[in-house]
Structure 1
Amino acid sequence: MSSSSSRITGTVLVAGGSGFIGSAVVDELAARAAARGGPAIQVLARRAPSSRDATVGHVRADLTRPETLRGALAGVEVLVHTAAYVGRDPARCEAVNHGGTLALLNEARRAGVEHVVYVSTASVYGPGPHRGADEHALVPRPASPASTSRLRAERAVLDAGGTVLRPHLVHGAGDEWFIPALARLLTEVPAWSAGHASRSSLIAVHDLARGVAGLACGPSAADRSTVYHAAHPQPVATDRLLSALQRHLGFPVPRGDVSPGEHRDLVTHAVPELSDHQYALLTLDHWYRADRLWSRIGEDPGPGFEARFAEAADWYAAHLAGRDRPRVRQGAGPGRRPGGSAG
């Protein structure tokens, strides 16, 4: 834990704290508070949080109904915003992601909240390929309603002096999109593009939670209006991903005897609900320099993909076994279950 984590004396409120990323952030904050003393923790969500820690409070509110937020941030020192809608309904994307963020920021301003940390997505950059860019190298060109609305939310947070994190693909217990989507592809199309080994920035959900908690609990002055890539600094090649699925989940290594165009045609036929944007996230280079976050909070980024995937392998096996076959959820985003924050 960063030595600066005891700075917070008020409450940290996690908006969307019942989702995939949000619940991991709540667990990390609770663990830090229990270990060394720390802030009170509250979850703002439409449903009760998954945390069983009795010290975690719950505030029921709906980002699309600003009147339900009135008074919800009283006494809050830091707001961590992980709530998002990553489906394909443009109106709902705007209402939840941008409008909901504006409502949160308005209430935070009224309540005197000192710092806002917003978990966005590297999808704001568009479909790629992206290779080793830092936080200042790319002009965002979002390719989906979810990413467009989240970029607008980012700008509002930055204008308010907040901090933005951009993870790419998030994995771990609770992931209902990234690894399940790969599993579905391998089930329906046991092939991969010949000579087409892309690399991706990945992060385990609990390592992402450490990054969020480190920013939330550390001195915020240096983070005003700052963007951080949230990933392990070492990108992961597709062959390592597929090998991990073979070792831990029993999926066969796909043959590599089709062209990129043939592969896309096969996937379009077999998995029609996978959008071009989602397909690009899984098959094109999307890796970003991500050392600034870990340097900023003074923490190690963790052991990397293979070790973290092994830790979550039993959860993935049970999750995939609980379905007739792995499905790609309509409108899902990387590393997201309902209430999560990627798209």
Structure 2
Amino acid sequence: MHLTRGDKQKAVLVVGGTGFIGSAALRALTDDGPPPTGAVKALVRRIPDASDALHGVEYVTGDLTDPASLHGVCDKVGTVLHCASYIGADEERNRSVNVDGTRALLAEAQRAGVRRTVLVSTTAVYGAGPHHDLTENERVPQPTSPTSRTRLQAEEAVLAAGGTVLRPPLVYGAGDVWVVPSLAELLRRVQALPEDGRARLSLVAVDDLARLLATLARTPDLLPPGTTHHAAHPYAPSLREFVSLLGETLGLPVPTEGLALDDYLARLRETPGKVSAHQAGLLAEDRWYRSTLWSRIGCSPGPGHHTRLSEAAPWYRKLLTPQ
């Protein structure tokens, strides 16, 4: 989406502009060519090399854990896309980035007169499943990890400030080092699917999520302030369906066998790997979230999972090929 000259005083600031989702959002904001000077800004901890920087994007440095470093980053900004978060087990780091950092960013946005902040959160805030065709207001979040607990607190701060919260589910595409790589590892370790792969899983391609963010950045009045929305592709495939797509697009093995969850986890524990039994167990129950946001704001959800996986295949092949 291209910015016109009249948008100069209403820049878009992408927080976490070199991250997986943030960098995709920047690409979506510049997909029609370089924007006018100062129209698209990216808050990063380190300015990217020239070969990695997007032409026309103004990169500014700052750290969410250092409020003083944020002063001025929101000047002449109309919309903030907050795509930065810490994901890990460090309780203090989760709090300093996800909670305190978000509050510091909101304070700077208020000082500068930013019109709207959009936070990229996660459906993980709901906690234990199963989640079957879940709507945004159907269930009170009950996060179970330090990351999801603090990201819910970040949501609360953004909503209180009149911002918008998006909860994407599993996000895949070029740059993904978790979703598809984890499935590839599990398929290598156990040649079977838990509960025969019947669980339905909501997913979204990062490029489609980025288009959604760009649409909201351009037209913040499409959604009422202080609201939360799922950002999943409308079709939630079963685990077996998605693994079959991985077989078609990436050549990964597609197991024909199914195992009861306890048997699957017992077999998984016999093999070393990065993916834990707890994480694998999440794939055995529905994590399916209804998402009507696309039609509400007139943004296409994209060509579908098969096409998006095919487009990302070169990235995944390079990542998954042993060096």
Cα RMSD (Å) of the superposition? 2.4
Instruction: Kindly provide the CA deviation profile for residues 198-233 of structure 1, in whole angstroms up to 9, marking residues without a partner as x.
Output: 111111000000111111111437430011100110
Residue 53 of structure 2 corresponds to residue 46 of structure 1: no
CA, structure 1 residues 184+272, in 2 after alignment: closer, same or farther (shift >3 Å)?
A: closer
Structure 2: tracts of 5 or more residues without a match: none
Counterparts of 1:216-227 in structure 2, within 5 Å, are: 216-220=217-221, 222-227=223-228
Q: By how many angstroms is 1:313 displaced?
A: 1.1
**Which residue in the other structure is 1:307 paired with?**
307
TM-score (norm 1): 0.87
Identity of aligned residues (%): 45
**Which residue in the other structure is 1:132 paired with?**
133
The farther-off stretch of 68-77 and 149-158 is 68-77
* Secondary structure at the counterpart of residue 199 of structure 1: coil
**Which residue in the other structure is 1:14 paired with?**
14
Counterparts of 1:1-343 in structure 2, within 5 Å, are: 9-32=9-32, 34=34, 40-49=39-48, 52-220=53-221, 222-271=223-272, 273-275=274-276, 277-291=278-292, 293-322=293-322
| d(CA) in 1 for partners of 2:278, 2:117 | 29
Does the CA contact (< 8 Å) of 2:169 and 2:203 recur in 1?
A: yes
Does the CA contact (< 8 Å) of 1:22 and 1:82 recur in 2?
A: yes
* Secondary structure at the counterpart of residue 176 of structure 1: coil
**Which residue in the other structure is 1:336 paired with?**
none
Q: By how many angstroms is 1:53 displaced?
A: 2.6
CA, structure 1 residues 11+259, in 2 after alignment: closer, same or farther (shift >3 Å)?
A: same
| d(CA) in 1 for partners of 2:108, 2:256 | 53
The farther-off stretch of 203-212 and 40-49 is 40-49
The farther-off stretch of 171-180 and 189-198 is 189-198
| d(CA) in 2 for partners of 1:174, 1:322 | 17
* Secondary structure at the counterpart of residue 164 of structure 1: strand
Instruction: Kindly provide the CA deviation profile for residues 69-112 of structure 1, in whole angstroms up to 9, marking residues without a partner as x.
Output: 11221111111100011111111111111111011001111111
**What count of residue pairs does the alignment treat as equivalent?**
320
| d(CA) in 2 for partners of 1:60, 1:192 | 44
* Secondary structure at the counterpart of residue 30 of structure 2: helix
Structure 1: tracts of 5 or more residues without a match: 324-343
| d(CA) in 2 for partners of 1:308, 1:8 | 33
| d(CA) in 2 for partners of 1:236, 1:46 | 37
Does the CA contact (< 8 Å) of 2:38 and 2:58 recur in 1?
A: no
